[in-house]
Amino acid sequence: MTNTEGSPASPLTRKASQPLAQQLAQRFAERIQQRLLLPGARLPSVRECARHHGVSPYTVVAAYDQLLAGGLLEARKQRGFFVRDKHVSTSTWQAKAQPQQPVPVDATALIRGMFQADAKRAPGLGTLPAEWLDLPMLQGAMRQVLKAGSGSEELALHYGEPAGDARLRKALGLRLADLGIPCPPEQIVTTVGATHALDLITRTVLQPGDAVLVDDPGWAIEFARLTHAGMRLLPVPRGANGPDLAVMERLIEQHRPRMYVTVSVLHNPTGNSLSLANAHQILKLAEQGDFQIVEDDTYAFLAPNHAPRLSALDGLRRTIYVSGFSKILTPAWRVGYLAASPAWVDKLTNLKLLSSLTTSPLLERAVAHCLEQGQLRRHAERVLTLLDAARQRSMKLAEAAGCRFVAPPQGLFGWVDVGMDTEKLAQIMMDEGWLTAPGMLFSASRQSSTLMRINFATAQDAQFWRRLQTLRSAAV
């Protein structure tokens, strides 16, 4: 198992005070509660688990029996053991099974793992490695913001403006113009990262029970966020040029969705971008079906400015544009924003005030400085050079290991077919200290898959690919 720093789990030991079966049950219980094993995931067979952990099949049966008794697993006849869709809390299971070893109940453990893992052992990481980021640029921007006589007292000692720092919104207006999206500062609202923007839009536009079109594959956190808000997900297969329009049209007719959430450029996890023809058809369907489109352009700085964007074609009439800086600047500066029509901006700003009061004026002014001085543009150019080289190396390693890219490699992520169940692979790799991103994470219906997402920037370790090749060979 991997902790949030990416280190391997301690092996089962016969010298511990706990019996081996209890240690093994504890390990699986932690993964289930931290959502490293999602509901519906299949556990290894008894023999497979026994061989992997170096214990007897009887020990594995005893561990699985504990988890069954605690309500974390269900046994399906002739199929194996699966994580229950609805299970008791860790504290309840602990009280029954091992009260002396409390397990943290933390549904966001997976997210923390993705952001905090050691990039050298995290081919499934969601961000750039820290050594690619420009710390001197960040430090210089903050010094400039805090410099005496620059208005730093006003920024540091008071709430920010409700819609966000005026200088940042002006700089963002110029940035959007470069992308072909006409948008004055008055139609821009800053947020605590892009995820906050998506949440504000969901709570402003939708009501519990509304149907929402989503790309499949797509990002698990967005699926979970919408489901938690009470929405009905309508998965649309995502292909090389965008969503399957025939499926989308059928879903629109049957369910009358209120919204479509998509990453049109450098889609996560496939890396594909929307074609111009597909984009026009989506806008026609949105007009006919009377639903809003939310365009998440999180990877904007890694993509060409001229890439087709729905918001540019639509002029923010039926689209709401979302982006942020965590993928290019630093995950630590939670600065995001949305751009919308005047009809939505006031409502979104009011909800922002209710949910977070205001956003950080210091961080927003520092981001504005990076944009105004061209520092962020130059940094992005350096990152793209590094990413191009990393992509070529990662592709060669993956193909040498017998893996196949099912989408043309571009952007930060690659969508790879490894030829074996990647949920099973992820469990094995976790024990060895590797953080991977199995295909099930990106399935709206949590389907098992032989696909996984790799981060080209963090998937350049030949040791990882050699180990994966060995596991593939053993699985064939």
Number of domains in the chain: 3
Residue ending a domain, choose from 329, 346, 376: 376
Measure the CA–CA gap between 384 and 427, rounded to whole angstroms.
32
Worst-scoring range by mean pLDDT, 16-25, 147-156, 414-423, 425-434?
147-156
Given pLDDT bands bounded at 50, 70 and 90, which one contains residue 150?
low
Residue ending a domain, choose from 341, 376, 411: 376
In a domain, 87, yes or no: yes
Q: Which pLDDT score, from 0 to 100, does residue 105 have?
A: 27
Measure the CA–CA gap between 106 and 161, rounded to whole angstroms.
33
Given pLDDT bands bounded at 50, 70 and 90, which one contains residue 94?
low
In a domain, 13, yes or no: no
What confidence tens digit (pLDDT) does each residue in 157-204 have?
Answer: 788 899 999 999 999 999 999 999 999 999 999 999 999 999 999 999
What confidence tens digit (pLDDT) does each residue in 30-60 have?
Answer: 888 877 788 888 899 888 888 888 887 778 8
What confidence tens digit (pLDDT) does each residue in 213-260 have?
Answer: 999 999 888 988 898 899 999 999 999 999 999 999 999 999 999 999
In a domain, 343, yes or no: yes
Residue 107 confidence (pLDDT) above 80: no
Residue ending a domain, choose from 330, 349, 376: 376
Residue 78 confidence (pLDDT) above 50: yes
Residue 115 confidence (pLDDT) above 80: no
In this structure, the number of other CB atoms found within 10 A of the CB of residue 100 comes to: 7
Q: Which domain holds residue 95?
A: 20-110
Measure the CA–CA gap between 164 and 432, rounded to whole angstroms.
44
Measure the CA–CA gap between 267 and 213, rounded to whole angstroms.
15
Helix axes 276-289, 245-255, angle to 10 degrees: 10
Q: Which pLDDT score, from 0 to 100, does residue 158 have?
A: 80
Judgement on whether residues 76 and 119 belong to the same structural domain of the protein: no
CATH label of the domain that carries residue 448:
3.90.1150.10
Q: Which pLDDT score, from 0 to 100, does residue 393 have?
A: 97
Tokens of 105: 């109940």
CATH label of the domain that carries residue 85:
1.10.10.10
Residue 103 confidence (pLDDT) above 60: no
In a domain, 12, yes or no: no
Q: Which pLDDT score, from 0 to 100, does residue 221 have?
A: 85
